[in-house]
Copies of this chain bind each other. A is one copy, B any other.
Amino acid sequence: MAESVRQAIEQRVRVFEAAFNQGDMAALAALYTEDAALMPPDSNTITGRPAIQQFWQSVQDAGMRHIVMSTQQVESSGELATEVATADLTAEAGDGTTSTIPLKYVVVWRREADGQWRLAVDIWNSCPAV
């Protein structure tokens, strides 16, 4: 059971990556619950899908268009699960050079009435530069 929750969440993480990397911010926002809380560094908490979509669009507009996420740990109980993970966010400059920002994050996942796991809380911060 716990293993199947982890598998379900890792599958959602792959969908998140794909939406982000394809630049489909509406699809990305739809992975969150309607009342989700996004907690970016140096920002107040951002609530709800329209504002979350706008936030991720601003990240893409700043040139950060590729993400790779790596789940480290999932704990679950009933319709609630927590994911501890790392991510690498990559920006490509106009001249084709890239820079990658290593992040770590915690997502609170909620399994909603339709059986789908969605991000209810999403918080991250920086790792030391490598």
Contact = CB atoms under 8 A, between A and B. Distances in A.
Interface of A: 37, 39-45, 73, 75-80, 82, 84, 104-106, 108, 110, 120-121, 123-128
A69 B78 CA distance: 28
Contacts of A76: 80
Given A42-B126, A77-B79, 19 more contacts: A37-B73, A37-B84, A39-B84, A39-B104, A39-B106, A39-B125, A42-B125, A42-B128, A44-B128, A45-B104, A78-B78, A80-B80, A80-B82, A82-B108, A105-B123, A106-B106, A108-B108, A123-B124, A125-B125
A42, A82, A128 — most chain B CB neighbours (10 Å): A82
